[in-house]
Amino acid sequence: MAMRSPLVLVAMLAACEGAPSYLQGRGYVADREATLGWVLLAIASAVVVVIAILVLGATFRRRPPGGDLIREGGGMRWIVIGAIIVPSVILLGTTIYSTVVLARVARPAAKPSIVVQVIGHRWWWEVRYPGTSPAEAFATANEIHIPVHQPVQLELSSADVIHSFWIPQLAGKMDLIPGQTNVTWIEADTAGAYRGQCGEYCGLQHAGMRMSVVADSPAEFTRWLQAQRQGAAAPAADLAAAGEQVFQRSACAVCHTVRGSEAGGAVGPDLTHFASRATLAAGVLPNTQGNLAGWVANPQGIKPGVIMPAVPLRPADLHAVIAYLQALK
């Protein structure tokens, strides 16, 4: 068995811990889709049980010598009822029920309170809040904040290959297709963080392409929205200020944007409020100082194949850059 680095093992363990289940719905869409699944499972199970009983009954029933089971006892009538009428009624009923449920969750009853644009990349999620004017627009990554008890419209697209947006506890899957924008919506009934995953195989790090939806109270969401619209504040500590200088003159500023600074790269995630996010590397690791240092120094050791290159930095410069990134609240 090939040896793996400690950071890769940590990432694998984090992926397995507390995996969400679509059966534990916390939103309008997920609740109704889970109920639909249970109903269809109950009907299918009942059909299997009835068929098993009939098969066992026919197996152990003795056929009279020279008798014809179809003609004796109205066998043909039971074949018509059991093989044509009953299955037709069951299929028609489940089709109508499924169509009604899916039509109800296709669009929200009320107009969505906000619009969020989600763009899939290999292997991370770009999240844009366009707002009502250019001054209100901003971008973040891998973490979507929404107000609880309010429908939110999602506009999904892809920058490279086909991805699939899936937050099991809030809604079903929706594909992200290059050159096309698909529209869906989510609504959370309970405040909290809900983990998601790319549901379409998209390459080497498909399993490491995760995201989270954080449902806040309306007041908390408004505060978060206002804070995210602001540019990054100038570092107060000397070490963080030195880290900003290292960040600006290295390859970091070529790939990443930090609003309020000279960094304007568009290849990687926007890092303006990076320190406010709970995870890094698209949900692979908790956003801690140690994990961040490992990620900056050797991203390929954590997510082999990821587009982010290792930036050669002296230990003192690396320490300063980490201090700067942790100051981006």
**Structural tokens at position 85:** 């009428």
**What pLDDT is recorded for position 56?**
86
| 93 assigned to some structural domain | yes
Is 180 inside a domain boundary? yes
Give the amino acid at 126.
E
Among 56-70, 124-138, 193-207, 271-285, the least confident range? 56-70
**Same domain, yes or no: 175 and 218:** yes
- Rounded CA-CA distance 249/313 in Å is 11
Kindly report the pTM of this predicted structure: 0.81
Residues 118 and 137 both lie in one domain:
yes
Q: Which of 212, 16, 206 has the alpha carbon at shortest distance from 123?
A: 206
Structure token pair of residue 83: 């093989």
SS3 of 56, please? helix
Give me the pLDDT at residue 3, please: 39
Same domain, 218 and 246: no
On whether residue 233 sits in a domain, the answer given is no
Instruction: Kindly indicate the confidence band of residue 6, based on its pLDDT and cuts at 50, 70 and 90.
Output: very low
Quote the CA–CA distance of 282 and 249 in Å, as a whole number: 25
Instruction: Dump pLDDT digits (tens) for 44-53.
Output: 999 999 888 8
Within a domain: 8 = no
Domain total of the chain: 3
Q: How far apart are CA 329 and CA 227, in angstroms?
A: 9
CA–CA distance, 205 with 11 (Å, rounded to integer): 12
- pLDDT tens string 91-120: 999 999 999 998 888 888 888 989 999 999
**Same domain as 311, residue 222:** no
Question: Do 136 and 223 reside in the same domain of the chain?
Answer: yes
209-265 pLDDT, tens digit each: 999 999 999 999 999 999 999 999 888 899 999 999 999 998 899 999 999 898 888
Is there a cis peptide before residue 123, judged by omega within 30 degrees of 0? yes
Q: Kindly report the average pLDDT of the chain as a whole number.
A: 87
Q: Say if 57 falls within a structural domain.
A: yes
Q: Which amino acid is residue 119, in one-letter code? A: I
Considering only CA atoms, give the Rg of the chain: 27
17: nearest Cα among 280, 276, 188, 210: 210
152 and 84 within one domain? no
Q: CA–CA separation, 55 vs 72, rounded Å? A: 18
Q: Which whole-number Å values give the CA distances from 94 to 22, 34, 102, 103, 123, in the listed order?
A: 21, 15, 12, 14, 38
Q: How many residues does the chain have?
A: 329
> Is 149 part of any domain?
yes
Positive or negative, the CA dihedral 306, 181, 191, 167 is: negative
Can you state the percent helix, strand and coil of the chain, rounding each to 5?
Answer: 40, 20, 40
Distance in angstroms (rounded) separating the CA atoms of residues 232 and 244: 11
The verdict on 136 and 98 lying in the same domain is no
CA-based torsion, 18, 22, 25, 26: positive or negative: positive
pLDDT in tens, 71-87: 555 567 777 887 888 88
Say if 9 falls within a structural domain. no
Question: Is the same domain home to 118 and 194?
Answer: yes
Query: 210: helix, coil or strand?
Result: strand
Count CB atoms within 10 A of the CB of residue 64.
8
Share of the chain above pLDDT 70, in %: 89
Residue 289 lies in a domain: yes
DSSP H or E run through 59? helix 28-60
Structural contact between residues 325 and 277, judged by C-beta atoms closer than 8 angstroms? no
Taking the C-alpha atoms of residue 187 and residue 215, their distance in angstroms, rounded to an integer, is 9
In this structure, are 276 and 320 located in the same domain?
Answer: yes
Averaged pLDDT, 285-295: 94
Q: Which residues pair with 152 in a beta bridge?
A: 114, 186
User: Average of pLDDT values for 21-34?
Assistant: 80
Task: Domain of residue 89: give its range.
Answer: 28-61+69-106
Q: Is-contact 30 22, C-beta < 8 A?
A: yes
13, pLDDT greater than 50: no
Q: What is the pLDDT of residue 159?
A: 95
pLDDT at 51: 87
Same domain? For 55 and 119 the reply is: no
For residue 326, pLDDT beyond 50: yes
